[in-house]
């Protein structure tokens, strides 16, 4: 229990640091949001209108420290403010349009990648120098070296545009309405997800496999495995309950961290596949200096990563009895 409490304290500090960075970092960028909006119209808006924009957005000239105080106060009340780029929609409304799709895409892709990667790693180590063991790790590491969006562009061009096997964009067919009870809709969601999720899985699976395989190899030479073999336990039991359970520990730790990378990587993949997630929102927020939206999105991402790590910590306690005290 003390272990978990200590972790919780650590997360609280991490959350505060990220809140502060979220506040200051965007404001270090040159320019101001009203000019950015004004500029979007390229000479179509009159200079008179820029003052009107500034007033409507409620942009403040108060010292940064004072603004920081207001920001913390409104956050504690759960208020994220009004997006500047999507004015007058509140940040929460803007984020909610894409939140579900990003979580679905990134979450599912990470879980699939983690599961597949580890199983491949286990089998690879078990049948060391077999075909799987000699071909998969270098190949997957090679593919993993490509950025997600690069794989995504190639997949989009050849598999969706040229071959026409997959839809070109969006999370479901435009002809359908969102209805999770309908089989047609779910089928459509799955067919739209294969390419983007596939790209993320392909790009991230190599690390999992390699990590798992190498730890497995070390553990398989431990005495207690030999002991288990001598006892005549079933091969399956030795492989999964004896070796894999222990070898999994380092990978579980990195799972929490990977979620953050996958989330940021999937943002680019989303833009390529015109997936209605948060990726383009973030790009727009940064480009237009939309401070409230940037804060909201970064906060969401950091909290997602922190939350995932907390879950991992709890899982760890369950997986590894040595951490229980």
Partner 1 sequence: MKLRFPALMMLVIIFISMLAACGDASTLTPQATQGQSTTAPAATATEAPATGSTDATAEPTAAATTDTGSTSSDGKVFLTVSDQQQSTWVRNFNPFASDNRWPTAAGIYEPMFIYNIATGKIEPWLATEWAWNSDNTELTFTIRDGVKWSDGEAFSSKDVAYTLNLMKDNEKLQGNGRAAMRFIDTVTADGNKVVVKFKEVSTIALYDIGHQMIVPEHIWSKIADPVTFTNETPIATGPFTEIIRFQDQIWELGKNPNYWQAGKPYIDGIRQPAYPSNDAANLATINGENDLASNFIPDVEKTYVAKDPENNHYWFPPVNAPVMLLLNTTKAPFNDPNVRKAISMGFDRQQITEIATYSYNSPSDATGLPESFADWKNPEAVAAGDWVKFDVEKANAMLDAAGLTRGPDGIRVLPDGKPMTYDINVVSGWTDWVTTDEIIAESLKEIGINATTRTYDFSAWFDKVQKGEFDMSIGWSNNAPTPLQFYRGLMSGETADTPIGEANGDNWHRYGNPKVDELYSQFVKTSDPAEQKKIMNEIQMIFVQEAPAIPIMPNIYWGEYNTKRFTNFPNEENPYVLLSSFAQPDRLILLTNIKPK
Q: What angle do CA 180, 163, 201 make, to 5 degrees?
A: 55
Q: What is the DSSP letter of 278?
A: S
Site for partner 1 in 286-315 (CB under 8 A): 287-289
**Rounded least distance, CB 16 to partner 1, Å:** 25
Is 64 one of the binding residues for partner 1 (CB under 8 A)?
A: no
Q: Shortest gap between Cβ of 268 and partner 1 (angstroms)?
A: 7
**Under 8 Å between Cβ of 110 and 199:** no
Candidates 1, 5, 28, 43; binder of partner 1 (CB under 8 A) is 43
- Asked if 277 and 265 touch (Cβ cutoff 8 Å), the reply is no
Q: Using CB under 8 A, pick the residue from 10, 146, 240, 303 that binds partner 1.
A: 146
- DSSP letters, 142-203, are HHHTS-HHHHHHHHIIIIIIIS--S-SSSSS-TTSPP-TT-HHHHHHHHHHHHHHHHHHHHH
Residue 90's DSSP bridge partners are: 82
- CB 13, min distance to partner 1, A: 21
Strand partners, 74: none
Question: Contact with partner 1 (CB under 8 A): which of 20, 27, 69, 88?
Answer: 88
Give least dist CB 89 to partner 1, A: 5
Q: Does 221 bind partner 1 (CB under 8 A)?
A: no
Query: Which residues in the 89-118 window bind partner 1 by CB under 8 A?
Result: 89, 93-94, 97-98, 101
Q: Segment near partner 1 (CB under 8 A), from 8-16, 65-73, 271-279, 312-320?
A: 271-279
Minimum Å gap between C-beta 235 and partner 1 is 27
Looking at the Cβ atoms of 216 and 228, the one nearer to partner 1 is 216
Spell out the residues 6+ positions from residue 146 whose beta carbon is closer than 8 angstroms to its own: 203
- Region 224-243 residues binding partner 1, contact defined as CB under 8 A: none
> Any contact of residue 128 with partner 1 (CB under 8 A)?
no
Sorted by sequence, the CB contacts under 8 Å of residue 69 that are 6+ apart come out as none
């Amino acid at each position: 229990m003390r272990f978990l409490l200590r972790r919780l304290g650590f997360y609280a500090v991490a959350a505060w640091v990220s809140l502060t960075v979220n506040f200051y970092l965007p404001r270090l960028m040159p320019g101001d949001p009203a000019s950015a909006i004004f500029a979007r119209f390229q000479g179509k808006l009159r200079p008179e209108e820029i003052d009107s924009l500034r007033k409507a957005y409620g942009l403040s000239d108060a010292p940064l420290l004072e603004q920081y105080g207001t920001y913390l106060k409104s956050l504690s009340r759960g208020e994220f403010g009004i997006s500047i780029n999507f004015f007058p929609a509140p940040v929460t409304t803007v984020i909610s349009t894409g939140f579900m799709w990003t979580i679905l895409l990134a979450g599912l892709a990470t879980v699939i990648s983690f599961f597949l990667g580890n199983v491949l790693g286990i089998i690879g180590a078990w049948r060391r120098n077999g075909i799987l063991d000699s071909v998969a790790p270098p190949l997957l590491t090679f593919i993993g070296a490509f950025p997600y969006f690069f794989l995504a562009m190639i997949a989009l061009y050849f598999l969706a545009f040229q071959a026409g096997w997959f839809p070109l964009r969006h999370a479901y067919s435009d002809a359908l309405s969102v209805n999770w009870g309908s089989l047609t809709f779910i089928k459509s969601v799955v067919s739209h997800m294969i390419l983007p999720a596939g790209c993320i899985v392909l790009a991230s699976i190599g690390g999992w496999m390699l990590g798992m395989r190498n730890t497995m190899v070390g553990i398989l030479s431990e005495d207690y495995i030999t002991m288990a073999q001598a006892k005549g336990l079933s091969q399956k039991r030795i492989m999964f309950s004896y070796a894999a359970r222990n070898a999994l520990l380092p990978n579980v730790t990195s799972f929490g961290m990977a979620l953050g990378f996958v989330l940021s990587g999937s943002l680019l993949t989303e833009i390529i596949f015109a997936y209605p997630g948060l990726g383009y929102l973030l790009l727009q927020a940064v480009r237009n200096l939309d401070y409230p939206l940037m804060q909201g999105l970064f906060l969401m991402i950091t909290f997602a990563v922190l939350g995932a790590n907390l879950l991992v910590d709890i899982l760890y306690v369950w997986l590894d009895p040595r951490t229980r005290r």
